[in-house]
Amino acid sequence: MTLRDTSVFDESPWLAGGPDRLGPARAIPTMLAHEEELLLYWLTAAWAQGSGAVVDLGCFAGGSTARLAEGQRQAGHSAPIHAYDRFGADEAAKRRFLYPAGVARFEGEDLLPAATALLTPWLDRISLYKEDLKDTVWPREPIEILVVDASKSTATLDAIARTFYPALQPGAIVVHCGALHWREPWVMAQMLLMRDWFTPLAHAHDTTFAFHVTRTPDSRAIEEGLTTGLRDKALAAILNSNRALFEDYGTTDQLDTMLAAIAASPGVRDAWKMSRP
């Protein structure tokens, strides 16, 4: 896979056209915002060449996976799609996201049977894994598209980096759905630490950022990007020293909110423990 001209991303082409492009994937419940679902669909429908796997980390009930799979189906590609999640949903999540979308009520928190049923139209191209990403093993199959919505702690983010980044092909696209979320400031920090391997490419919606893989991350890259153990001062400095990048993408509000969240949550490296600034 060779590097391609990515200037098309400057025009946010995924926004063109209506939501009907998503086909049956529109009906699959998701926590994604509309622009995010359009981006994922466009990546497999119009950008990907089918040269490597599509990997979806943190797919909830399969909504993001369905958008990726439908785009790939329409493009006529057949690269494998691998989707990972703990596949659990408490009653609040079921009432908010699943039942309004027509998912039949079910007992317990195991979401995998429901997700499997929802993804029936695309199961010929999808493999689902109910796993903790800190324990996942990847067989080094080349990856063309990596979507991450599971970086809820520095430990998990670093595990993702160690497991999946070495399989990224030059020219691959990585989408971090929490890159600009105040609860997950370590995500953008990691990508900035690894700018020799990842080029910031596009901002979608509020917190999602896409990156272009310019060369496959090696062991040195992974070590440089590890976020576990970063002190608050270092974490904030990494973000603040790249303020010009945030200005270029009109995301300085997100930057300032992340910095305030770090200050309000000393030493915290789990998203659910972060204090709202």
Read off the pLDDT of residues 59-96 as tens digits, 9 standing for 90 and up: 999 999 999 999 999 999 999 999 999 999 899 988 98
Burial of 92 (0-12, 13-18, 19+ CB in 10 A): exposed
Confidence of residue 19 (pLDDT cuts 50, 70, 90): confident
Mean predicted confidence (pLDDT) in 179-201: 98
Instruction: Give the pLDDT score at 18.
Output: 79
Evaluate whether residue 246 is within a structural domain: no
Instruction: Give the pLDDT score at 178.
Output: 94
Residue 93 domain boundaries: 13-226
pLDDT surpassing 80 at residue 217: yes
Confidence of residue 17 (pLDDT cuts 50, 70, 90): confident
Instruction: Give the pLDDT score at 244.
Output: 98
Evaluate whether residue 242 is within a structural domain: no
Distances (CA, A) of 153 to 84, 107, 132, 159, 185: 16, 29, 12, 10, 10
Please name the residue ranges forming H helices in 43-83. Answer: 63-75
Evaluate whether residue 156 is within a structural domain: yes
Evaluate whether residue 179 is within a structural domain: yes
The rounded distance, in Å, linking the Cα atoms of 60 and 69 is 15
Mean predicted confidence (pLDDT) in 168-196: 98
Distances (CA, A) of 54 to 34, 36, 51, 164, 259: 20, 16, 10, 11, 32
* Number of compact structural domains in the chain: 1
Confidence of residue 140 (pLDDT cuts 50, 70, 90): confident
pLDDT surpassing 70 at residue 53: yes
Length of the chain counted residue by residue: 277
89 near 30, Cβ under 8 Å? no
Instruction: Give the pLDDT score at 3.
Output: 82
Helix (H) or strand (E) holding 55: strand 53-57
> Which residue has tokens 């796993």?
131
> Which residue has tokens 């049923």?
117
Confidence of residue 97 (pLDDT cuts 50, 70, 90): confident
Distances (CA, A) of 34 to 13, 30, 47, 61, 77: 14, 10, 19, 16, 24
The rounded distance, in Å, linking the Cα atoms of 56 and 159 is 15
The rounded distance, in Å, linking the Cα atoms of 231 and 227 is 9
pLDDT surpassing 90 at residue 166: yes
pTM: 0.96
Evaluate whether residue 6 is within a structural domain: no
Evaluate whether residue 18 is within a structural domain: yes
pLDDT surpassing 70 at residue 112: yes
pLDDT surpassing 70 at residue 151: yes
Confidence of residue 1 (pLDDT cuts 50, 70, 90): low
DSSP state of 4: -
pLDDT surpassing 80 at residue 2: no
The token pair that represents 130 in the structure block: 């109910």
Evaluate whether residue 186 is within a structural domain: yes
Specify the CATH number for the domain of residue 19.
Answer: 3.40.50.150
Instruction: Give the pLDDT score at 104.
Output: 85
232 near 267, Cβ under 8 Å? yes
Residues 6+ apart with CB under 8 A from 123: 116
Evaluate whether residue 260 is within a structural domain: no
Q: What is the DSSP string of 154-205?
A: HHHHHHHHHHHGGGEEEEEEEEETTTT-TT-HHHHHHHHHTTTTEEEEEEET
